[in-house]
């Protein structure tokens, strides 16, 4: 039985990301994978589930960086060994241009 509640395909994407919570300077993260509904990142610090943030990352698409940015909600934050915390972010707001970039990235 699969306990994974995601209903869309995940694509491994490894690039830097910036995560910004209100009133806190942006923090760096490393993307692990992305789907049409969100992304998974590694961070040094845990995040509180339910918090909303701004997220931006620039994966390569056809050899060129493409910027994807929008608002997301923290779905989970779990310790992942010595690498830090694996944070699941669910997109809550992407404009049309970012939706198109994400769809192009997902192929």
Report the C-alpha gap between 98 and 58 in whole angstroms: 11
Q: What is the mean pLDDT of each run of 10 residues along the chain (107 residues)?
A: 54 96 92 96 95 96 95 96 93 96 93
What's the sign of the alpha-carbon dihedral 50, 81, 41, 1? negative
Task: Give this prediction's pTM.
Answer: 0.89
Q: What domains are there in the chain, each with its CATH number?
A: 11-106 (2.40.10.220)
């Amino acid at each position: 039985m699969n306990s994974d509640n995601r209903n869309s395909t995940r694509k491994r994407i490894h690039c830097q990301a910036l995560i910004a919570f209100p009133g806190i300077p942006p923090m760096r993260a490393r993307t692990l994978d992305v789907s049409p509904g969100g992304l998974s990142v590694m961070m040094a610090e845990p995040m509180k589930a339910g918090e909303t943030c701004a997220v931006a990352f620039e994966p390569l698409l056809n050899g060129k960086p493409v910027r994807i940015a929008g608002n997301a909600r923290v779905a989970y934050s779990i310790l992942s060994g010595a690498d830090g915390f694996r944070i699941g972010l669910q997109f809550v707001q992407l404009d049309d241009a970012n939706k198109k970039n994400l769809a192009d990235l997902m192929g």
